[in-house]
A and B are shown apart, each in its own frame.
Chain A
Amino acid sequence: MPDWSAVVRDRLLLLDLPAKERQEVVTELAAHLEDLYEEEMRKGLSEPEARENVTSELVRWRKLARDIHSAKLTEGIMNARTRQLWLPGLVSLATSMFFLMILIQISMQPRYLGRSPLQMVLLPWLALLPLCGAGGAYLSRRGGGYRWTRLAAGLFPTILLFVLCSILVVTHLLVPAQPRLWYGSLAVALGIVLPTASLLLGSLPFLRSRGHETRSVIS
């Protein structure tokens, strides 16, 4: 008989629950598969046929992990959207703004006054942004977020910047006699690209699924 516990454990790597509770879920689901397999065998099916029938239950593990996670989790004051997007996004935004503020403060120290803002603020900020993106994407994944939600949480600061920039551009189109506003919005638009790339770099490791929960064939 296949080791159903190992099969379930392997596929539920994404299930983010306390160890004891997680083990209990794995044991229970494995027992279900074991019963199903034995029943198929009792019907007179061969071992490979029984295994194949049981395997048909083993699809969409990522969704199952998410459903179990949200069923087990006591929501309290936070719903799924807050846990998966808004809170991680705000963490990403707050840490990026915190780093920017600290770098600006440092650049204003008398001994650094002669140096360019590019050297003192922008480049170090870009170097720190992957941490912010990683924090946002990690928290979103921890909250059971989909890949796109994790990406949105990681890139939250630049998404917000993009929205503000779009408002500026639209404002310019409606009020054309403001050339400074136009150049300003263009500069911000260009300034979005590099921070986005930097945040994306940090978010990438958390966009992948943990383990092989999408495999559908039992070896």
Chain B
Amino acid sequence: MTKRIRSKIARGSAELAILALLAEQSLYGFEISKRIEERTGGVLHFTLASLYPMLYELEKRGWIAGRWEANQAGRDRRYYCLTPTGKKELVPLRREWNFFFQALDCLAGVTNA
């Protein structure tokens, strides 16, 4: 049970992280993992095995869309962008996580830890 909850939390937070990044600009897989790592100070780290199944899952749901484009070095990379559906989904997702953290803070005082 604990493992399932942890897994769901990790999955949910990964979805939020990816959608929030793609709301700012289109990125390809490697850039997404680098940005997340940089901006969370290395707390969140995506490996190849954790990132791509998640991207494909979000793409299947229609929240993000991928297309092949040349990057700055002229190499073809698959850039992902947020779709209108993804933008809609991001709003309640952010709100849910906000509630979740507030609730956790009330209970465990995690903000001042």
Contact = CB atoms under 8 A, between A and B. Distances in A.
B77 interface: yes
Given A28-B29, A36-B30, A57 B60 contact: no
B38 interface: no
Interface residues of B, number: 18
Contact of A72 (B49, B56, B77): B56
Contacts, number: 51
Interface of A is mostly: helix
A31 B30 contact: yes
B30 A63 contact: no
A29 B33 CA distance: 13
If over half of B's interface residues share one DSSP class (helix, strand or loop), that class is named, otherwise mixed; here it is helix
A81 interface: no
Interface residues of A, number: 22
A33 interface: yes
Interface in B54-108: 54, 56-57, 60, 75-78
Contact of A57 (B49, B54, B57, B78): B49
28 contacts: A24-B78, A27-B76, A28-B77, A29-B48, A31-B29, A31-B30, A31-B75, A31-B76, A32-B30, A32-B33, A32-B51, A33-B48, A36-B30, A57-B48, A58-B48, A63-B49, A64-B49, A64-B52, A64-B53, A67-B49, A67-B53, A68-B52, A68-B53, A68-B56, A71-B53, A71-B60, A72-B60, A74-B60
Interface of A: 24-25, 27-29, 31-33, 35-36, 57-60, 63-64, 67-68, 70-72, 74
